[in-house]
Structure 1
């Protein structure tokens, strides 16, 4: 049996804020959105990617207003960027926005140069250079 990882689903407390954060900080764009009986869901992906992020806001979570943190303190989403300057820029942006989680630093191969921010729910999102799919054998 062949399997392929297609998506990661995360709960969120504010779907609009979560969509805006990922569309503003990454190349991901919303390609599907709907309202169900229990809440709202949006699917985001980068153009041409076979992997997506599904964010789900239950009406209960929205009404409680509490962060829906799943990926923390180390669990995280990882995004590859084009160079060290982009890692630095993302770290500076995170610092300015109050969402910097890990300062930019160089780590040994295959990790590379990275920093991490937190999304509106406190999930850790890494931005790295030198850690592309080659590290995973693709």
Structure 2
């Protein structure tokens, strides 16, 4: 972080402000959750708990990030039929199975947050999903 600067409202340079650790923690957990959901969708016979633990270990997640990943991934998987039906109804001239594995994982994750995590404002879930789609999705995913 040393050497990084931001300008204040008067144009003076100062230390770069960090985003809240809490937000960064959830973002890291969401990225890991996309990986878990992608992998479980692609390789249907894997054990979800094993995959979650492998991702936590490989990504070196701990504490709040690991807890949020675990909670988010398990809730998404538990409610996947309901989430998929909701997404399917929202697609126009398109089927969920035609979307890429990554795009499906991102949509499922965002829908789960909006439906079952009341403490997360829907705007945050949508913004995070768009950013994930820009970075990890296929061309045009973020639209």
* TM-score between the two structures when normalised by the length of structure 1: 0.23
Structure 1 or 2, whichever has the larger Rg, is 2
Higher strand fraction (1 or 2) = 1
Higher helix fraction (1 or 2) = 2
